[in-house]
A and B are shown apart, each in its own frame.
Chain A
Amino acid sequence: MTLFRTITVMLIVLSTIPVMVTGALIGNYGDKPFMLTWQLLLLGIFGIVLAIAIGTFFALGITRPISKCVTGALAIARGNFGYSLDIKSRNEIGELAHTFNYMSRQLLYYDNKNKELLASIERAYLETIRALANSIDAKDPYTRGHSMRVTEYAQMLGKDLGLEENELNLLSFGSTLHDIGKIGIREEILTKKTQLTDSERKLMQQHPVLGEKIIEPVDFLQPVRPLIRHHHEWVDGSGYPDGLKGDQIPLGARIIATVDTYDAVTSKRPYQEAVTKHQAIEILNKLRDTQLDPIVCDAMVRIVKTRLPPPSVEKVSPDKPSFLLDNGTEESNSVPKTREVV
């Protein structure tokens, strides 16, 4: 605004002075005045009006592009990288606009590059977590693919329960790693075919605590720790390790517990045969309110009924998410009594 005023005033002063001076000279030339006073006055007014018009025009020509630059700078400051100015002047202001647009494009490019880097770091995190999860599977062949399936179902369940993007991410980490503590359990206990003795069961029940300890030093997994520690808690408070009840158990842990139960009963274990989808639903309903959170459990039953294939399909291709392979409508004829361990 100030610049606009300066330029206008400057042009008015500079252009009216010569008009006045010439007017005065012409007016007083010789004995007979060439122009009358009112004519002189008119000429002066005309000169001033003209000066104002021209002054405004030039002033706007300079201040408008500059104020556009300010708008652009503010847009970029607000994170709108790539914002480009529409200035056609061929003077220094045009040059400024050109370099401004160049800067804006470069910023957009750097920003995208940073986003790509972040994405690749996140991928690296995920791969590291997968590798950790694989190490559990390597130790206990009966649970092979268990972590992957639990992750896959937990995501479906989480989305169904309306979790947000970052919560789903944490849930994915938590569900992949939920059994990581089994690395610290002796193999004889993990693969034992008969009932565990009391002392063995106590050792086995240490795995959520061990799992939490294992990931403790990893900074980005801090929010996942409660999910791993509490995935064997029961809503009635009779679970382990802390005997938490209902809402005291983090929602993520309740989701993992439900999905874990479903996958455990539909998989062949050293101590049990796999059950069909139908039987699994019955088991889930039986555990509702005692072991499993009612809301989470109901959502899981809904998902099992509508979206999950019968457990047998999983062995066809363990690499791909099983729900992509089959709709799982024909349940009765495709379910074998036992599922092969790949």
Chain B
Amino acid sequence: MSTRALLCDDDMPIRKMLRDILEEKGLFVIEARDGQEALSLLQKEDVDLVVTDFLMPKVDGLQLIRTLRATERNQLLPVVLLSAISRKQIMRDELADLGPTYYINKPFRPRKLRKLIEIIIQRIQKTKPNNPS
């Protein structure tokens, strides 16, 4: 099975741009328009990677990460958090351990994201054969 990524952003052009980058790296991409949609998709689908925006309607990126970490299966799921808000600001009141979360400041160079995605894919492929499923 190919590596699957969940892409979550409320801005259509950015979603399209991110989808292009992810697909170029050979990922199968499913899209969500906000955190709530992402959470309901996560319940139905099995993904290996989540790429999400921070400022989204209904459920923001941080809440999304916090909620998905509550599920056993998603505790080690790599998440890429993209945001124009600095990491310091986002994490100001954050006490919970967010697990493997990568932060990229917006606006970003596509090269930076490509590199990060490559590293994550390598890690996923390293752990996958050990996984009986």
List, in ascending order, chain B residues with CB within 8 A of A67's CB: 86, 89
Q: List 5 A-B contacts (CB under 8 A).
A: A67-B86, A71-B89, A74-B92, A77-B55, A78-B60
Whether the pair A74, B85 counts as a contact (CB closer than 8 A) is yes
Whether the pair A70, B55 counts as a contact (CB closer than 8 A) is no
- B residues neighboring A (CB under 8 Å): 55, 60, 85-86, 89-90, 92
A78 to B89, CA, bound (A): 14
**Other contacts beyond A67-B86, A71-B92: 13, CB < 8 A:** A1-B86, A67-B89, A70-B85, A70-B86, A70-B89, A71-B89, A74-B85, A74-B89, A74-B90, A74-B92, A77-B55, A77-B60, A78-B60
A67 to B90, CA, bound (A): 11
A74 to B85, CA, bound (A): 9
Count of chain A residues with a beta carbon within 8 Å of a chain B beta carbon: 7
List, in ascending order, chain A residues with CB within 8 A of B92's CB: 71, 74
Which single residue of chain A is at the shortest CB-CB distance from B90?
A74
Interface string of A76-99 (1 = CB under 8 A from B): 011000000000000000000000
A74 to B90, CA, bound (A): 8
**Minimal beta-carbon separation of B82 from chain A (angstroms):** 16
**Minimal beta-carbon separation of A69 from chain B (angstroms):** 10
Interface string of A202-219 (1 = CB under 8 A from B): 000000000000000000
**Minimal beta-carbon separation of B35 from chain A (angstroms):** 12
List, in ascending order, chain A residues with CB within 8 A of B90's CB: 74
A78 to B92, CA, bound (A): 13
Q: Which residues of A in the span 49-90 have a Cβ within 8 Å of any Cβ on B?
A: 67, 70-71, 74, 77-78
List, in ascending order, chain A residues with CB within 8 A of B86's CB: 1, 67, 70
A139 to B91, CA, bound (A): 63
**Minimal beta-carbon separation of B40 from chain A (angstroms):** 21
**Minimal beta-carbon separation of A67 from chain B (angstroms):** 7
Which single residue of chain A is at the shortest CB-CB distance from B86?
A1
A11 to B86, CA, bound (A): 24
Which single residue of chain A is at the shortest CB-CB distance from B54?
A74
Q: Which 7 A-B pairs have the closest CB atoms?
A: A70-B89, A1-B86, A71-B89, A71-B92, A70-B85, A67-B89, A74-B89
Which single residue of chain A is at the shortest CB-CB distance from B55?
A77
**Minimal beta-carbon separation of A6 from chain B (angstroms):** 15
A253 to B69, CA, bound (A): 38
**Minimal beta-carbon separation of A150 from chain B (angstroms):** 39
Which single residue of chain B is at the shortest CB-CB distance from A73?
B85
A71 to B89, CA, bound (A): 7
A70 to B89, CA, bound (A): 8
List, in ascending order, chain A residues with CB within 8 A of B55's CB: 77
A128 to B106, CA, bound (A): 53
A67 to B88, CA, bound (A): 10
**Minimal beta-carbon separation of B115 from chain A (angstroms):** 21
List, in ascending order, chain B residues with CB within 8 A of A77's CB: 55, 60
Which single residue of chain B is at the shortest CB-CB distance from A67?
B89
Which single residue of chain B is at the shortest CB-CB distance from A78?
B60
**Minimal beta-carbon separation of B131 from chain A (angstroms):** 36
A246 to B86, CA, bound (A): 56
List, in ascending order, chain B residues with CB within 8 A of A1's CB: 86
List, in ascending order, chain B residues with CB within 8 A of A78's CB: 60
List, in ascending order, chain B residues with CB within 8 A of A71's CB: 89, 92
**Minimal beta-carbon separation of B81 from chain A (angstroms):** 14
Which single residue of chain A is at the shortest CB-CB distance from B57?
A77
A70 to B90, CA, bound (A): 10
A16 to B55, CA, bound (A): 41
List, in ascending order, chain B residues with CB within 8 A of A74's CB: 85, 89-90, 92
Which single residue of chain A is at the shortest CB-CB distance from B89?
A70
Interface centre among A1, A67, A74 (most CB of B within 10 A): A74
A92 to B71, CA, bound (A): 46
List, in ascending order, chain A residues with CB within 8 A of B60's CB: 77-78
Which single residue of chain A is at the shortest CB-CB distance from B92?
A71
List, in ascending order, chain A residues with CB within 8 A of B85's CB: 70, 74
A220 to B92, CA, bound (A): 40
A74 to B56, CA, bound (A): 11
A204 to B57, CA, bound (A): 52
Which single residue of chain A is at the shortest CB-CB distance from B105?
A1
A78 to B57, CA, bound (A): 10
